[in-house]
Structure 1
Amino acid sequence: MTGKGQGFGFGLGKMKELAEAFKKAQQVQEGAKRLQEELEQMEIQGESGGGLVKVIVSGNQEPKRVEISQEALAQGAEILSDLVTAAMKNAYEKSTATMRERMEDLTSGLELPGF
């Protein structure tokens, strides 16, 4: 029988790779925590009607405020409702894209051995 002294099939090289992977994963975890805090502080603006309605959300898509112009109010309830909905969707799309980009930046270069 061969394999004596091999441990669980991990050579020293594999253990070193694994240790490096854990180190990188820890860095990503710390980066993710910082990113979460950053996203909470961000203000991302969505708008509709050429700026008649603005919706501001955090990078975590938490609603912060809505700004409605006098011109938008003059459009009536039904159109105003459509404008607010469109601005909300715009803000959501922007915040989702921002979050995705920031996560990709955080995890780029992360190469886990064996995955």
Structure 2
Amino acid sequence: MNIPEHLRYTKDHEWISVQEDGTTALVGITDFAQSELGDIVFVETKPAGTSLDEHDAFGTVEAVKTVADLFAPVSCEILEVNEALDAAEIVNSDPYGDGWMVKVALKEPSQVDGLLNASAYRELVGE
């Protein structure tokens, strides 16, 4: 299973990648989450401009047999939704790359420090 060292993770299986500017980030679901869900057929997120508190649902991911909520890892505002998600299967093939879901502006960048590092996430999923 792929668990990149440079990302932070939630117990709900989202990842966050803070960008170089330190104020924006990309958010998606982990390799573990996409493998547990199976073939992803649809991703729906709230639109750009939506303000979220930590743990607020920002969308859903639909697989062949189930639908799962997506939760904001930190307090943020959605700046952009990934247009590539029109082909939702990209989340299965590249969850940490082209399969990112939203780009966000961090309201409190220090919240990222409270998320799981790669080692703690490996332990959570039994890797």
- TM-score bracket, shorter-length normalisation: under 0.3
Structure of higher RCO (CA pairs closer than 8 Å, 6+ residues apart): 2
What TM-score does the superposition give when structure 2 sets the normalisation length?
0.21
Structure having the higher helix fraction is 1
Rg larger in 1 or in 2?
Answer: 1
What TM-score does the superposition give when structure 1 sets the normalisation length?
0.22
